[in-house]
Amino acid sequence: MKTLDFLKCTMLASALCLLGSYAKADTVVTSPDGQLNVNVKTEADGLSWTVTKAGKVMYTETGVTVNVGGTVLGSNAKVRGVKRNSVSQKIHPVVPLKFSEINDNYNEATLNFGKYQVVVRVMNNAVAHRFVLNQKGDVEIMDEQFNIHPAPGFTAHYQTEDSFHTSYEEPYLTNSLAEWENSGKMATIPVLLSGANDTQLLIGESDVDDYPHMFLLAKGNAITTIFPKAPLAWEPQGDRGETITKEADYIAKTSGTRALPWRWVAVTDSKGIIEQTVPVQLARRNVLTDTSWIKPGQFSWEWWNGATPYGPDVDFKAGCNYETYCYYADFAAKYGIEYILLDEGWAKSTTDPLHGNDNLRLPDLIKYCDAKGVKVVLWLPWLAVYNHFDTLFKTYAEWGITAVKIDFMDHADQWMVNFYKRTMIEAAKYHIIVDWHGAFTPAGLEQEYPNLVSYEGVLGLEQMGRCTTSNTLFIPFIRNAVGAADFTPGGMLNMQPERYHSQRPNSAAMGTRAYQMALYVVLESGVQMLADNPTRYYEADDCTRYITSVPTTWDETRCLEASAGEYVVVAKRKGSKWFIGAITNGTARDFTISLDFIGAGQHRLTAYKDGKNAEYQAMHYNKVEQAVSASTKLDIHLAKNGGWAAVIE
């Protein structure tokens, strides 16, 4: 009997010893191609891991925790088991901004801690993690923390904010982490870190649902997290804003049985950022059974140009009236533009979204546009949507409205995140697509409800003199790297920055004419505006025909040349046609690009390039046509703040 008891004790001690050693053991996860390696450790202050690429340290992540009701998950953690998974699958986005078919390959480890798990997913170009909760009832998430320590030599590119009340429209700054920390300001997601040899780290999030969006702070040699608190009470601020009057001490009150959002870091180079699809791969899949009614496309937009066409055929008083919008509809129909946008002023008031102004004759206008094959889009402050939520989309569907632009949310807390989703669900019931302005950046909702075709959340052309070419050059590498950005390009009055002056109705755009044209290929959005006046587009008919031929969704994307924040040359395919767009900052550049991707046989290239005087007179461009084949090497020149735009067919 004593021998048996001794044996049991010995076996138990051995098991406990094994469990203890296992709990302290590192968990290693490697990318499918073997290049990225993640070594996960359990520490007293939270989980941590070091990420290496080809054996070289890229960054270390420490203090990975979630505070649930005062209990800090991740600290002093004991691993009870590790489940591994390898996946290779295809994703087909409903609104494909880069690829109509995405290869989703990754290796994954799920660390089990009992009442919660931590999932670490490693792709060939990114590392992502998330917490999964297994608790009863609702829980209060007090905070979520992690610290990213980049290897020495990285510089940060980021958009700062003074408060959580923001429309994500600040210019990008480039600073060291120390300079960022000294500013005391937080940054919106995403943040780009650039290192030696074109090493790029892009920090983002995906599958943000019933949870606030993340913001970042620089602290010491690290980047750490900060979140807006959950609002408990708020009051309207005018006709389009809110003032939060009471906040909770938690960031989210949510189900205790759920996965929290993905936090991810892409590890790549400048070309890789343009081609990566990490946010799509981490997002939820589409839940709509019928998506045939979701029609991305181009909008003719009147706000930027003052709604004042002035051509010889204009014999009416311009403004927010029937005659003006019929003129815009005629323009749209001529060039195959799918939508016209009625921005602020179409309604009797900004608080009444159910009645057009007396001069608009909205029912007649909708009929006129339908006869032309053009759809009407209505602009709305979000408060008007909120206050008419039960009737708004039903009424619009009865009118024949298939798209809306919702504006001025300017918050990214849990309540507002949930408002976006409620709105997308309601809009989908009535087959209405949505373009969000005054918005946070994409984080997955657009994949779950693909009738969300674009967000603003970018310093775009509507900002006039604030919209510099040097800032716009960061958009493909930061803002567009996480999803659609409604930049509203297409200015036909073009100026070099040192000569820029602009005021509606004679709005101007920085950069050359070819630069503005190339933006339609370079920038990504399910809806692309034509921001300028129909009169100017008529005067530049060849440019307009090119712009309106550029798709808003793509089958394939290839980055030919890139340096984050300096220049990009990208080729995109739709069906059998290839479009190429190139833009540069204040430095003129020359490239030789190979067309080895276009396939066999002879093709026709039509290109718009900077004219020899474009560095002074930014309106100067030349149109060229030539036969090309897969063996062709093209020499292209970009003037300072210039561009190059082409189609191959």
Q: What residues are annotated to the active site?
A: 407, 462
Choose among 34, 240, 239, 265: nearest CA to 146.
265
Specify the residue for token string 């300001």.
Answer: 185
Contact 294/453 with Cβ under 8 angstroms?
yes
Q: Which two tokens stand for residue 592?
A: 């030789």
Task: Tell me how far apart the alpha carbons of residues 125 and 120 are, in angstroms, rounded to a whole number.
Answer: 14
CA quadruple 621, 626, 629, 632: dihedral positive or negative?
negative
- Enumerate the β-bridge partners of residue 81: 112
349 strand-pairing partners: 352
Helices 322-335 and 362-372: crossing angle in degrees, nearest 10, is 10
Q: Is the peptide bond before 505 cis (omega within 30 degrees of 0)?
A: yes
Q: Are 566 and 473 in contact (CB under 8 A)?
A: yes
**Cβ distance 126 to 267 under 8 Å?**
yes
- Residue 407 forms beta bridges with which residues? 381
Decide: residue 128, CB within 10 A, 0-12 exposed, 13-18 middle, 19+ buried: buried
3-state secondary structure of 279: helix
Q: What's the Cα-to-Cα distance from 171 to each of 167, 433, 475, 505, 585, rounded to whole Å?
A: 12, 28, 10, 24, 15
Among residues 92, 476, 416, the alpha carbon closest in space to that of 252 is found at 416
Query: What is the C-alpha separation between 181 and 198, in angstroms, rounded?
Result: 24
Asked if 88 and 31 touch (Cβ cutoff 8 Å), the reply is no
CA distance 344 to 381: 9
Which tokens sit at 362? Answer: 């909205």
Give the chain's length: 649
Q: How many helices (H) and strands (E) does the chain have?
A: 14, 39
Instruction: Write the CB contacts of 297 (distance below 8 Å, at least 6 apart in sequence).
Output: 337, 338, 339, 527, 528, 552
Structure tokens at 194: 């650039």
Place of tokens 């009535």: 430
**Amino acid in position 218:** A
Residue whose C-alpha is closest to residue 128's, from 203, 68, 236:
203
Print burial letters for 373-384: b (CB count within 10 Å at least 16), e (below 16).
ebbbbbbbbbbb
Is residue 423 within 8 A of residue 455, CB to CB? The reply is no
Q: What are phi and psi of 46, to 5 degrees?
A: 135, 175
Beta strand 452-455 pairing with 433-436: parallel
3-state secondary structure of 446: helix
CA distance 102 to 97: 11
Contact between 374 and 368 under an 8 Å Cβ cutoff? The reply is no
Question: DSSP per residue over 11-22, as a string?
Answer: HHHHHHHHHHHH
- Distance between CA atoms of 471 and 423, rounded to whole angstroms? 31
